[in-house]
Amino acid sequence: MMRNNKILSIILCSILLSNNIAIKNAHSKDNSITEKKEESKESKNFTKWLLDFKEKVLNHKDYNISDKTLQIAFENIKFNEKILKSDAKQAEFAETFWEYIEKRINEYRINKGKELYKKYKSLLRDIHKKYGVPPEYILSFWGLETGYGNYFGSTNIFEALALLTFEGRRAQMFETELLTALEILEQNKLEASQMKGSWAGAMGNFQFMPTTFKAYKIDGDGDGKIDVWNSIPDAMHSAANYLHKIGWKDGKRWGREVFLPKNFNWMQVDDYDIKRTTTEWKKQGVMKTNGKPLDESDVKGYIIAPQGKDGPTFLVYNNFDKILNWNYSYNYAIAVGLLADAISRNTNNTIITKEKINNKIPIKNIIEIQKELKRLGYYKSDDFRGVLNIKTKFAIKRYQRDNKMLPDGYPLKELYLKIFNKSISN
């Protein structure tokens, strides 16, 4: 009898376990169905937007884009959530200065840059002579954009640009890029199959956006066509032409690391409009990293601190601004300058003397800070993605100044504590 009871108990347990699994599976399926419905809704919205966009293009007298071009460009494109996620988590803004730099300024990129300097010496010298852009900068952009041509991206740029226009945050900019890409295709400047690149719609060895390609492309090898994917002369000439046309100054450095005195007015930091000569910065006590005073000069620059008081500070000049034209991120522009410096020297030292401190707070807490600073009148934006952009930094600086904190514009735990009167919970 006991044996029969034991068997019965085992059977009952098995039934209960099976039922639990079935219920969990049912819930899982329900969740999956819900997610698919949500996905389907987004996808339908995008499909409708795309139909409206095509109609707008066809009916606009200034666009001159045919139905055939639209059919080719938008064939098989879909709602690709990965593109929108990439836009929300750009490394230039999501990583600390040290995280960003250490991933990009490494032995491989420096040594490969020096190797390619020798390989393309004649081409790079001709380009320097023609456009006034030194070889190390061409190589630095190339190395940072695509690892010297190792990865161009495989995203359909029409899909990327359409989605980013549809998403709306920077709709005007991406619509301009999308229309330009369609125009390039209409004029047979490129084949649709060629037009693959990054999630943001950038193409080729130097990751040109369509408007940049259209305005600055150069046939560097003289074969009658322009191929910024497979022709290194075309790609390098085009990159140098762009930098030259936007005002690159030959023989001038991008910037340098500096030390600030203890009593320095930090409201001057990260402010593009506060440009002073090196003589004027010297009078305020700004020094070279070797402890010597700055050289007296009428060259103007401004001071930036990409990781606040705990990171390095830089005095940057005209050519730094031209790098920002390429990609508006302090971290990116500094990386271009540091890699160029390393490629041109006989050492792989990137010459940053500041101690590495990776202080950061979670993105969710930066979002809280943005929303509270908006409520308080400091943050002049509706962008609450936790991105540490220049608007966020200036909002933080103004709050810090008004609350007798050092105004470095960087969100740390002490700032969170001051704003919310509580510590960040793990």
pLDDT tens digits, 208-249: 999 999 999 999 999 999 999 999 999 999 999 999 999 999
Are residues 44 and 191 located together in one domain of the fold?
yes
Could you tell me the pLDDT band of residue 138, with boundaries at 50, 70 and 90?
Answer: very high
Same domain, 49 and 187: yes
With 90 as the cut, is the pLDDT of residue 197 above it?
Answer: yes
The whole domain housing 293 covers 255-344
Most confident of 27-41, 90-104, 343-357, 359-373: 359-373
Vertex 152 angle, CA 81 and 387, to 5°:
50
Token duo for residue 111: 């040594």
304-318 residues labelled b (16+ CB within 10 A) or e (exposed): bbbbbbbbbbbbbbb
Structure confidence at residue 38 (pLDDT): 55
pLDDT at 30 (0 to 100): 47
Domain boundary among 309, 344, 379: 344
Please tell me the distance from the alpha carbon of residue 284 to that of residue 287, in angstroms, as a whole number: 9
Q: Rounded mean pLDDT of 338-350?
A: 81
By the 8 A CB rule, do 140 and 341 touch? Answer: no
Give me 384's structure tokens.
Answer: 């609450």
pLDDT at 365 over 60: yes
Give the pLDDT of residue 345. Answer: 85
The CA distance from 297 to 124, in Å, is: 30
Query: Residue 388: what pLDDT?
Result: 85
For residue 34, being part of any structural domain is answered with: no
Residue 159, both tokens: 């899909």
Residue 52 lies in a domain: yes
Give the pLDDT score at 347.
Answer: 61
Placement of tokens 């300024």 in the chain: 105
CA distance 145 to 142: 5
pLDDT of res. 26: 46
Q: State the pLDDT confidence band at 18, using cuts at 50, 70 and 90.
A: very low
Distance separating alpha carbons of residues 237 and 148, to the nearest angstrom: 15
Convert the pLDDT of each residue in 46-63 to its tens digit.
Answer: 999 999 999 999 988 788
Where helices occur in 106-156 by DSSP H, the ranges are: 107-119, 121-131, 135-146
Best CA proximity match to 389, nearest among 144, 100, 94, 173: 94
- Residue 288 has a pLDDT of 94
Q: Does the residue 6 lie in any domain?
A: no
60 in a domain, yes or no?
yes
360 or 131, which is more confident? 131
Q: How far is CA 102 from CA 138, 207, 333, 411, in A?
A: 20, 22, 14, 21
Same domain, yes or no, for 287 and 327?
Answer: yes
Q: Is the pLDDT of residue 395 over 60?
A: yes
* C-alpha torsion sign, points 272, 273, 276, 282: negative
Domain count, the chain: 3
C-alpha count within 13 angstroms, C-beta hemisphere, residue 369: 32
Same domain (yes/no): 48, 188: yes
| 146 within domain boundaries | no
Q: At 335, which amino acid appears?
A: A
pLDDT for position 28: 47
| pLDDT at residue 350 in the model | 58
Q: Mean of the per-residue pLDDT values for the chain?
A: 88
Asked if residue 337 and residue 269 are part of one domain, the reply reads yes
